């Protein structure tokens, strides 16, 4: 199972977080791109090479980098803002090459909540951005994974599927976030079973319906027994990212999450 370093966002760099987790026995990771945790513009070649050496020394790897979505908008009406987002994601792709990561998680973008541009316009801006990003990702050997997030303009699996089908590129797939789906009352197990060929990674954590969270397993509304069966039928736990977000005692929370999954029949 892949371990996300999100809980270490403000307490340590990604390299230091991975070092701690690797010493605890974990070997595969997803890293969120956020300063000061991990920000390509702030990472000179020596820092990148030191990070790669640390991974090699601990027989560990970074599977994916999550480029983020709050500061980016590939579907912005403003060309200059789209370009800033494109350039940032290109920086993330270059870091993925330095660290031998194969996947980069991105957001499709957002629309203004009042007097929104049409979906046709928004998709057009996104596709224009991808016209630059897809060839860059292909050259780097990296897959771009669109994430289903409640605030983006494609929050459901069907809306994301429509985008990915329209793009029709082997460099573009979906990372399906179970907590994000459950929060908008989408059935994660059903969605995974129905769309497995398009899904590259699965993010798992729990959430309530009143407050959007990435909470400990079993504390919210996600049915992890049904999800277990869906994962076993469509993929494997090697493509599952544990993304419990807790700033206090992150290593302890990760271990408790894995113990709870094991108790519920997950073969980790």
Which CATH number goes with the domain that contains 240?
A: 3.20.20.150
Q: Is residue 267 part of a domain?
A: yes
Q: What is the pLDDT of residue 75?
A: 97
Closest Cα to residue 137, out of 64, 193, 241? Answer: 64
Tally of domains within the chain: 1
Q: Is residue 120 part of a domain?
A: no
Q: Give the lowest-confidence range in 156-160, 207-211, 235-239, 242-246.
A: 235-239
| Residues in Cβ contact with 175 at an 8 Å cutoff, skipping those fewer than 6 apart | 64, 103, 105, 145, 146, 147, 148, 199, 200, 201, 202, 203, 241
Q: Give residue 234's pLDDT band: very low, low, confident or very high (50, 70, 90).
A: very high
pLDDT score of 70 more than 90? no
Q: What is the pLDDT of residue 198?
A: 96
Q: Is residue 95 part of a domain?
A: no
Q: Is residue 44 part of a domain?
A: no
Q: Is residue 252 part of a domain?
A: yes
Between CA 261 and CA 251 the distance in angstroms is 16
Q: Are the CB atoms for 133 and 139 separated by under 8 Å? A: no
Phi, psi of 240 (to 5 degrees): -105, 135
Q: What is the pLDDT of residue 136?
A: 98
| Tens digit of each residue's pLDDT (9 = 90 or more) over 108-141 | 999 988 899 999 999 999 999 999 999 999 999 9
Q: Is residue 77 part of a domain?
A: no
Q: Is residue 29 part of a domain?
A: no
Q: What is the pLDDT of residue 68?
A: 84
Considering the chain, what percentage of its residues have pLDDT values greater than 90? Answer: 96
Q: Is residue 131 part of a domain?
A: no
pLDDT score of 172 more than 90? yes
Q: What is the pLDDT of residue 71?
A: 87
Between CA 95 and CA 137 the distance in angstroms is 12
| Tens digit of each residue's pLDDT (9 = 90 or more) over 14-66 | 999 999 999 999 999 999 999 999 999 999 999 999 999 999 999 999 999 99
Between CA 106 and CA 200 the distance in angstroms is 13
The domain of 207 spans: 171-268
Q: What is the pLDDT of residue 237?
A: 87
Q: What is the pLDDT of residue 69?
A: 75
């Amino acid at each position: 199972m892949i371990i996300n370093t999100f809980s270490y966002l403000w307490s340590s760099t990604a390299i230091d977080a991975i070092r701690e987790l690797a010493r605890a026995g974990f070997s595969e990771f997803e890293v969120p791109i956020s300063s000061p945790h991990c920000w390509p513009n702030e990472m000179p070649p020596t820092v990148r090479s030191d990070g790669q050496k640390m991974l090699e020394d601990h027989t560990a790897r970074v599977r994916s980098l999550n480029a983020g979505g709050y500061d980016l908008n590939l579907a912005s009406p403003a060309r200059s803002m789209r370009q800033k987002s494109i350039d940032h994601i290109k920086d993330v792709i270059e870091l993925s090459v330095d660290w031998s990561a194969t996947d980069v998680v991105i957001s499709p973008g957002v629309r203004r909540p009042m007097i929104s541009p049409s979906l046709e316009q928004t998709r057009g801006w996104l596709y224009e951005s991808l016209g630059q990003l897809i060839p860059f990702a292909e050259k780097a050997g990296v897959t771009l994974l669109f994430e289903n997030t409640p605030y983006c303009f494609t929050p459901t699996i069907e809306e994301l599927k429509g985008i990915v089908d329209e793009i029709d590129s082997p460099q573009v797939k979906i990372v399906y976030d179970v907590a994000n789906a459950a929060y908008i009352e989408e059935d994660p197990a059903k969605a995974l079973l129905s769309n497995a060929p398009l899904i590259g990674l699965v993010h798992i954590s729990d959430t309530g319906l009143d407050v959007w969270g990435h909470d400990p397993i079993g504390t919210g509304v996600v049915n992890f027994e049904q999800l277990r069966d869906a994962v076993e039928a469509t993929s494997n736990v090697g493509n599952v990212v544990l993304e419990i977000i807790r700033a206090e005692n992150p290593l302890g929370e990760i271990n408790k999450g894995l113990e709870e999954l094991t108790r519920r029949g997950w073969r980790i």
